[in-house]
Amino acid sequence: MENHLLEVRNLTKVFGGGLISKHQTVALQNFSLTIPGDRAVITTIAGESGSGKTTLARLILGFLTPTSGEIIWLGRNIRKMSRKEHITFRRELQAIFQDPYGVYNPFYRVDHVFKTVVSEFKLARSKDGVRRMIGDALEVVGLRPEEILGKYPHQLSGGQRQRIMVARSFLLKPRLIVADEPVSMIDASLRAMILEIMLKLRREFGISFLYITHDLSTAYQISDRIFILYQGSVAETGDATKVIDKPQHPYTQLLIGSIPIPDPTLSWEENIDLPPDEEMGKASETGCKFYSRCPHAMELCRQSSPPLYRIGDDHYASCYLYKDSR
Amino acid sequence: MNDSVLQVDDLRVYYWTERGPIRAVDGVNLTVNKGERFGIVGESGCGKSTTAISLLRLIKPPGSIEGGRIVLDGTDILGLSEEEMRKIRWSRISLIPQGSMNSLNPVVRVGSQIEDAITTHEGSKPRGELKDLIRDLLGMVSLPGRVYDMYPHELSGGMKQRVCIAMAIALKPQVIIADEPTSALDVVVQRLVTQMLIRVQKDLRASLVIIGHDMGLQAQLVNRLAVMYAGKVAEVGSVKDMYNDPLHPYTQLLIASVPSVKQKKTLKSIPGLPPTLLSPPPGCIFHPRCPHAMEICRSEVPHLREARPGRIVACHLYN
């Protein structure tokens, strides 16, 4: 069995249902994915709010414990790792987050974010060694060390701060970077730089990415594979270009059809409506989660939740419309 | 043109700091016509929100309107007394501020909040009449009547935003300004709210000014668009013209940087950073980042001119 880099098996996370609150929320249900170990891949986890994508990121990073299911890193279950294995895991799996300001302590110069990494992981022996490492990492992300080091976070733009965070992750030569909405708080004209850096890290350094986003337009530009999440379950998954060019699940079709295209000649087709109960978050308990909004809903959909059907080469959708394809 | 309902000439709004004035809006000219949807697009710090707030004279210290004219359907806004301005706000021009859905009072029911918005600007009305008016408003934004008795936290983001829209249209103003009305909403809800804004604008025969940073959304939503950069207007034109044939180098770069699910392309970003508005560069404020900068751009400020019919640009390439 070839060694996957990351394997997520039947991961479920339920919030609530304790002594105080009877109400339970199933944030993520029975989620599985694999990221290969032999090549660098950019996998997108896409969804709107309530889809479970942030919960998945937090589970993988170990910020949350799963209710059931396993997260396996290079063949080892992350909850059963020895201390030594765990330190290596922490080095090989890095993260960049959405807010390029909140992650910085405003009292320290930005150099501080590198210093903690270097000392925690004992990356270099001499001061010169450290300086060279940091300089190299900054150049990889297109920043000039002399323009960045010694400055405070507020003196730099969001794009620069985010690139510093990528440089910091890069210092540890990770195998996988979890990027949670890395460009959503950055101006449109500066986003391309971050996305280009992600592509460059994959191409030149073999680093894989798990790109968590609601923005399918950017996902389309950089992803190899994609998972479309809806209310904790996978609606559709497969090769990113195939899924976005020809979505098969009714939710994916609605989602992609609702993206405003930056071309005034291509407009939204017909007007859509949202049933009020759905809006207030009370989706159906049993059956397909998309039932109440689905234009193709059948009786079967109300009774049970559809599994993932293979609908093409590297293209899967969890929808009874495809129950006869295998 | 007689068709214009809002005319802004040479508007200047500065924020005064210890180190001097920050020229947030520095000579903005805009014309909004009756019944049109007009977009103002730009990135952080370009001055679009400051412009929006100025139109209702809601700028607070350390900001102040330093110059220019704002004329709303014949009325000189900057020449009014505070009392007169209060009468105009909401009844003739209203604003859906950025993040307004998160500013709803959490301990007051939705119905009462809409009531407050109405009675503050139109004086008190008989109870029954007010309730009917509000239920009609909720219907206009496709919200069920029971929302009247609900609290904001019981509503989804899209529903809260529609409550804010209901408040902004309550007195049937001529001009509605919406500052990033859908930024925090999911894609599908964003489409819903946008469609509803268009419907409401058409029903009221009002003009809609949409401030945003999402070029995709602007393409779907507005008839004409103004692109702002560092406190100035770079270009104005119809959406079709702007996207097919952008004239200003900044507009060209901005459009090239917007990804789309319709085609894969090399993503481009604009090198450099927007200038500090404390001491902006001389000449054209975009020249340090402009791929076509000429000698004249470094010393002379380009003014907005009609380069071709219906195409207004502030750029020396077209003089």
According to the model, what pLDDT value does residue A110 have? 93
* φ, ψ at A3 (rounded to 5°): -80, 115
Check A190 against B270: CB less than 8 A apart: yes
- Report d(CA B292, CA B311) in Å as an integer: 19
- Report d(CA A116, CA A108) in Å as an integer: 12
Q: Is the pLDDT of residue A1 over 50?
A: no
User: Which of A166, A155, A262, A249 has its CA nearest to residue A217?
Assistant: A262
CB-neighbour burial class of residue A144 (10 A; exposed 0-12, middle 13-18, buried 19+): exposed
Maximal C-alpha separation, chain B: 68
pLDDT class for A282, splitting at 50, 70, 90? Answer: low
According to the model, what pLDDT value does residue B122 have? 77
In contact, A56 and A66? CB cutoff 8 Å = no
According to the model, what pLDDT value does residue B29 have? 95
* Percentage of chain A lying above the pLDDT 70 cut: 93
Size of interface A-B (CB pairs under 8 A): 128
In tens, the pLDDT along A123-132 reads 878 888 888 9
According to the model, what pLDDT value does residue A185 have? 83
SS3 A235: strand
Check A221 against B253: CB less than 8 A apart: no
Residue in A187, A191, A200 to test binding to B, most B beta-carbons within 10 Å: A187
Rounded to the nearest angstrom, the minimum Cα separation between B235 and chain A is 17
- Under an 8 Å CB criterion, which residues of A touch B? 48-49, 157-158, 160, 187-193, 195-196, 214, 216-218, 220-221, 241, 244, 254-256, 258-268, 271-274, 276, 279-281
In contact, B232 and B193? CB cutoff 8 Å = no
B94 bridge partner residues:
B176
Locate the chain B residue with the closest alpha carbon to A264: B219
* φ, ψ at A266 (rounded to 5°): -110, 95
Q: Measured between CB atoms, which of A255, A267, A271 is closest to B220? A: A267
According to the model, what pLDDT value does residue B318 have? 92
Distance spanning both ends of chain B, measured CA to CA: 23
* Domains of chain B, first to last: 4-318 (3.40.50.300)
Check A189 against B264: CB less than 8 A apart: no
- Report d(CA B219, CA B210) in Å as an integer: 11
Rounded to the nearest angstrom, the minimum Cα separation between A215 and chain B is 8
Check A218 against B214: CB less than 8 A apart: no
SS3 A283: coil
SS3 A248: coil
- Report d(CA A58, CA B269) in Å as an integer: 30
Contacts of B194 in chain A (CB under 8 A): 260
Contacts of A281 in chain B (CB under 8 A): 156
pLDDT class for A275, splitting at 50, 70, 90? Answer: low
Q: Which residues of chain B have pLDDT under 70?
A: 1-2
DSSP string, A161-195: HHHHHHHHHHHT--SEEEEESTTTTS-HHHHHHHH
pLDDT class for A150, splitting at 50, 70, 90? Answer: very high
Give residue A16's region: left, alpha or beta (phi > 0; psi -120 to 50). left
Locate the chain A residue with the closest alpha carbon to B274: A157
Using the structure block, give the residue that is written with the tokens 């709303």: B72
SS (H, E, C) chain B: CCCEEEEEEEEEEEEEECCEEEEEEEEEEEEEECCCEEEEECCCCCCHHHHHHHHCCCCCCCEEEEEEEEEECCEEHHHCCHHHHHHHECCCEEEECCCHHHCCCCCCCHHHHHHHHHHHHHCCCCHHHHHHHHHHHHHHCCCCHHHHHCCHHHCCHHHHHHHHHHHHHCCCCCEEEEECCCCCCCHHHHHHHHHHHHHHHHHHCCEEEEEECCHHHHHHHCCEEEEEECCEEEEEEEHHHHHHCCCCHHHHHHHHCCCECCECCCCCCCCCCCCCCCCCCCCCCCHHHCCCCCHHHHCCCCCCEEEECCEEECCHHHC
Give me the sheet containing A76-77, strands edge to edge: A24-36, A4-16, A68-73, A76-77
- Region A254-272: mean pLDDT is 82
According to the model, what pLDDT value does residue B1 have? 46
Read off the amino acid at residue B248. H
Locate the chain A residue with the closest alpha carbon to B252: A189
DSSP string, A10-59: EEEEEEE-SSS---EEEEEEEEEEEEESSS--EEEEE--TTSSHHHHHHH
* Domains of chain A, first to last: 4-245 (3.40.50.300), 246-326 (no CATH)
According to the model, what pLDDT value does residue B182 have? 87
Handedness of CA B253, B255, B261, B262 (dihedral sign): negative
